[in-house]
Amino acid sequence: MATSPGKTETPLAGRRAQAARNDEVILEAARGVFLDDPKAPIAAVAERAGVGISALYRRYAGKEDLLRQLCHDGLRRYIAEAETALAVSDDWAAFAGFLARVVDADVHSLTVHLAGTFAPTEEMGRDAMRANELATALFERARASGRLRPDVVVQDLGLLLEACAAVRVPDSERTGQLRRRQLAVLLAGLSAAPDTDPLPGPPPAAGEFDWRWRRRE
């Protein structure tokens, strides 16, 4: 009896689904491994993911490709959250909600850890520019609302997000709670208030932290 067209597609669909599951497991394992030790070998990722090293290499040619994917996924999530926030009508709620969702998504944990360990692609460069444009738009809306202190600059947001990402305890739920608390403290510091002392020192400049992304040998 001839096999129907629908049945011939089933094994392929099953293999594709399994490959997608493997990829998700590999990326989650890689995130945990490289947060603990950015210099860890790629074999440590396969071990934590519970997959053979050959399965990992079928998806990623090497450690650098894996690191690049992790960071690019975080950048895309940042863009998606910013685009969502721009649709919110309340300017301050859009700004604060964006920061909260980025903190909850743990987008910035790998930034300092992995910067300079791989060569960014042109697509990542374009996405980074897009991310900056969106964050600037949200920042300017928050400033226009009158609730943002006048001596804050958009580059302060990166430092704020890194400060929240640095909060980490063994319990993931508690980590999330403490990060939200830290964000609330920092947002209070960004808020305009009468008789507030000016922020010390020159503000961070555009491109001041780009050096971190230069490839280190």
- Is residue 10 domain-shared with residue 77, that is, in the same domain? no
pLDDT in tens, 30-68: 998 988 888 899 999 999 999 989 889 988 999 999 999
- Kindly tell me if the per-residue pLDDT of 13 is higher than 90: no
Position 54 in a domain:
yes
Q: Collapsing DSSP states into helix, strand and coil, what is residue 148? A: strand
Total number of domains constituting the chain: 2
The residue from 35, 59, 83 where one domain ends is: 59
> Is pLDDT of 11 > 60?
no
Same domain, 109 and 155: yes
Q: Are 192 and 150 in contact (CB under 8 A)?
A: yes
Range of the domain at 44: 1-59
Each residue of 124-140: pLDDT tens digit? Answer: 999 999 999 999 999 99
Average pLDDT score, the chain = 88
Looking at the structure, tell me whether residues 100 and 179 fall in a common domain. yes
Residue 41: DSSP 8-state: -
Q: With 60 as the cut, is the pLDDT of residue 2 above it?
A: no
Q: Which of 179, 154, 49 is nearest to 101 (CA)?
A: 179
Per-residue pLDDT of 155-185, as tens digits, reads 999 999 999 999 999 999 999 999 999 999 9
Is the pLDDT confidence value at 19 over 90?
Answer: no
Helix (H, G, I), strand (E, B), or coil: what is residue 217? coil
Distance CA(22)–CA(18), nearest Å, equals 6
DSSP string, 177-195: HHHHHHHHHHHHHHB--TT
Is residue 181 included in any domain, yes or no? yes
Band of residue 4 on the pLDDT scale cut at 50, 70, 90: very low
Whether 148 is covered by a domain: the verdict is yes
How many Cα atoms occupy the beta-carbon half-sphere of 15 within 13 Å? 5
